[in-house]
Amino acid sequence: MSQSTSTSRTMSGGERIARALQAQGVRSLYTLCGGHISPILVAAKALGIRVLDVRHEANAVFAADAAARLTGVPGVAVVTAGPGVSNTLTALKNAQLAQSPLVLIGGAAPTVLHKRGALQDIDQAQLVTGQVKWLRRVRRVADLAPAVEEAFAVAREGVPGPVFIECPVDLLYDEAVIRGWYADAGARGKSLAERLQRWYLRRHVARMFAGRSATVRPVREVRPQPPARADIERAAAALARARRPLLLVGSQAVVEAANVDRVAAAVSALQLPFYLSGMARGLLGRAHPRQLFHQRRQALREADCVVLAGVPCDFRLDYGRHVRRSASLISANRSRREARLNRTPTVTALGDAGLFLEALAARLASNAGRDDWQAVLHGRDAGREAEIVRDAEVAGEYVNPLALFREIDRIAGDEAIFVADGGDFVATAAYTLRPRGPLRWLDPGVFGTLGVGAGFALGASASRPGAELWLIWGDGACGFGLVEFDSFVRHGIPVIAVIGNDAGWSQIAREQVKLLGDAVGTTLARSDYDRVAAALGAEGILVRHRHEMPAALARAQTLARSGRPVLVNVWLEPSGFREGSISM
């Protein structure tokens, strides 16, 4: 928008927020209704913003998280006061740790009743402080739109993350309605106390509506910080000396969604063997000649120069112990803390990891000439892949999970998006499913949160309408969001949910039984999840045996293409594929 646009002085607070969201490029928002936020929802719908309501507030935030990751525009969740806000905490923390920019708008009790025992009135700021990078408690109608504008900028600046705006209900309705409410609430007698009360309420309302003129201002540009040129030079020099270099690319490298093609070109130009993780999975398609999928730990221990592009040395790299001490370690990260977490790098490049890769590729004219190292890594990779193919052929009473994922990988469309929610089932999928391109894989991230699936699927569908959408769901994880099939049906979300039904929390049970000799708390039932989906208006398909699997998955694809959400309940054969894989 090239210039500011004045709007009506009588615009309600809900309309001001909706217009501010529209100006920020928001096309969908996610919510669970409540009286504290109704004016925002109605105004947003009137402006053409799609309002997608869910059955639990956490799923609204998960959906906003997914939308942010796929579009680069902070996702928006709007929830009611009190329990509406408190229900979002796990999803907020997941977004914070995944460095996902989103805006949570929470309703609140009327300003004059704060701390007086009003319905659902709690200290929401104190509740969310540890889960967001910024919050604003709005107390004047005129400050609503500026708060939204500030929130969108802050969510994307530096290390991205969630932000929170608290909007009391008496700021959101039309001014005449609010003045009527306060007039009715005031005392009507002539005593001094009653006259003082009326005076106080009139003064309070005057402050609320002071500065009533509203403007929709241009979107504030947020540019990611590029790494220092000196750090690029030092990284390039270290790589030039290396004989066994290795590149790891994580989610932070693709946080600028509009730039993913440039980041992919840079990774390819560097001519380094590389691993992709998190949202970076699929960055260079399914089968780039230098991409590796297996044996990462051994490769890291053998490498003499390791480049971490948006990847911290946390538990996933055994706190940095996977990288040998004699190796040069180059860490590019927006966060100083994460760049130096558990290991002091040889080169620390503070700034956007994607821009780091672009600058590094431009600095290194050629990085080829390490064919022996590449051959060792790819030979090892091919050997592990052959083992997986053999393991997938092992027959049992029910469906081999590796065979299931190989079939999904074979038939999934070129634009398919995979949403992963589960423990053992999803970790097995990571070995077998190959995202078709950038920003087509969604998993919770470092927090390892179960329950992201339904919300992620909703946000992904709204952000990429028409894309084939696969929800890979563990039977444990599906319990957090199975009721959202009601939402999928109501909103026309044609998800293909594949539930790996092995009747247990297998990732936990495997080690618990081995170490403690008891499966308590880890056993589930072979529940009829397909019938639950059907009862909620979707299609449900049951698969118990391997020979049923190809036809069932093909039917699910056909149903989804017709606009129907579908759940495929697959009974899995017990598997020891991930024996000894528990993380701490």
pLDDT of residue 130: 94
- Are 435 and 326 in a shared domain? no
Instruction: Identify residue 251 by its one-letter amino acid code.
Output: S
Neighbour count for residue 417 (Cβ, 10 Å): 28
- Are 57 and 195 in a shared domain? yes
Residue 74 DSSP one-character state: P
Tokens 């590729």 -> residue = 361
User: What φ, ψ does residue 293 adopt, rounded to 5°?
Assistant: -120, -25
The per-residue pLDDT for range 447-467, each reduced to its tens digit, is 999 999 999 999 999 999 999
pLDDT of residue 581: 53
- Are 319 and 370 in a shared domain? yes
Query: Is 577 part of any domain?
Result: no
Angle at which helices 506-516 and 424-432 cross, to 10°: 120
Q: Give the CATH number, domain containing residue 9.
A: 3.40.50.970
| Three-state DSSP state, 245 | strand
Query: Is 580 part of any domain?
Result: no
- Round to whole Å and give the CA distance between 167 and 13: 9
- Are 115 and 241 in a shared domain? no
- Round to whole Å and give the CA distance between 238 and 253: 20
pLDDT of residue 207: 86
Tokens 């998006």 -> residue = 417
Q: Does the pLDDT of residue 117 top 70, yes or no?
A: no
pLDDT of residue 366: 63
Say what percent of the chain tops pLDDT 90: 81
Angle at which helices 401-411 and 371-392 cross, to 10°: 110
Contact at 8 Å (CB) between 128 and 151? no
Q: Give the CATH number, domain containing residue 248.
A: 3.40.50.1220
H helix count then E strand count, the chain: 22, 19
- Are 203 and 281 in a shared domain? no
pLDDT of residue 3: 37
Tokens linked to 528:
């009829």
pLDDT band at 193 (very low <50, low <70, confident <90, very high): confident
State which of 162, 187, 216 marks the end of a domain: 216
The per-residue pLDDT for range 504-513, each reduced to its tens digit, is 999 899 889 9
User: What φ, ψ does residue 336 adopt, rounded to 5°?
Assistant: -60, -40
Query: Is 382 part of any domain?
Result: no
Q: Does the pLDDT of residue 132 top 60, yes or no?
A: yes
The side-by-side arrangement of strands in the sheet containing 328-333 is 274-276, 245-249, 305-309, 328-333, 347-350
- Are 159 and 247 in a shared domain? no
Range of lowest pLDDT (108-112, 304-308, 394-398) = 108-112
- Are 337 and 408 in a shared domain? no
Q: Does the pLDDT of residue 1 top 60, yes or no?
A: no
pTM for this entry: 0.94
pLDDT band at 213 (very low <50, low <70, confident <90, very high): low
Domain total of the chain: 3
Residue 189 DSSP one-character state: S
Query: Is 224 part of any domain?
Result: no
Query: Is 465 part of any domain?
Result: yes
- Round to whole Å and give the CA distance between 146 and 138: 10
| pLDDT, greater one: 187 or 373 | 373
- Are 398 and 297 in a shared domain? no
- Are 333 and 425 in a shared domain? no
Q: Does the pLDDT of residue 7 top 50, yes or no?
A: no
pLDDT of residue 198: 76
Q: Does the pLDDT of residue 102 top 90, yes or no?
A: yes
- Round to whole Å and give the CA distance between 568 and 571: 10
* Domain of 139, in residue numbers: 5-216
- Round to whole Å and give the CA distance between 319 and 496: 36
Q: What is the mean pLDDT of residues 220-243?
A: 95
Q: Does the pLDDT of residue 190 top 80, yes or no?
A: no
CA 287 to chain centre: 25
Tokens 């790891």 -> residue = 248
Q: Alpha carbon of 34 to those of 38, 546, 566: distances in Å?
A: 6, 46, 29
pLDDT of residue 184: 74
Say what percent of the chain tops pLDDT 70: 94
- Are 83 and 179 in a shared domain? yes
- Are 206 and 258 in a shared domain? no
CA dihedral 424, 427, 433, 434 (to 10 degrees): 170
Query: Is 380 part of any domain?
Result: no
| Mean model confidence pLDDT for the chain | 92
- Round to whole Å and give the CA distance between 151 and 134: 8
State which of 183, 216, 249 marks the end of a domain: 216
Tokens linked to 142:
């005129």
Q: Does the pLDDT of residue 350 top 80, yes or no?
A: yes
Q: Does the pLDDT of residue 491 top 60, yes or no?
A: yes
Q: Is the dihedral of CA 561, 567, 569, 572 positive or negative?
A: positive
Q: Tell me the HSE value of 112 on the side-chain side, using a 13 A CA sphere.
A: 20
Tokens linked to 14:
């809900």
Query: Is 579 part of any domain?
Result: no
Tokens 């991205």 -> residue = 160
| Three-state DSSP state, 294 | coil
Q: Does the pLDDT of residue 368 top 70, yes or no?
A: no
- Are 259 and 403 in a shared domain? no
CB neighbour burial string for 434-451, b if at least 16 within 10 angstroms, e if fewer: bbbbbbbbbbbbbeebbb
CB neighbour burial string for 217-228, b if at least 16 within 10 angstroms, e if fewer: eeeeeeebebbe
Residues 6 or more apart in contact with residue 260 via CB below 8 angstroms: 254, 283, 354, 438, 439
Query: Is 82 part of any domain?
Result: yes
State which of 188, 216, 244 marks the end of a domain: 216
pLDDT of residue 367: 62
Q: Does the pLDDT of residue 369 top 90, yes or no?
A: no
Q: What is the mean pLDDT of residues 320-342?
A: 95
pLDDT of residue 6: 38
Q: For the chain, report the end-to-end CA distance as a whole number of angstroms.
A: 48
Residues in the chain: 584
pLDDT of residue 4: 38
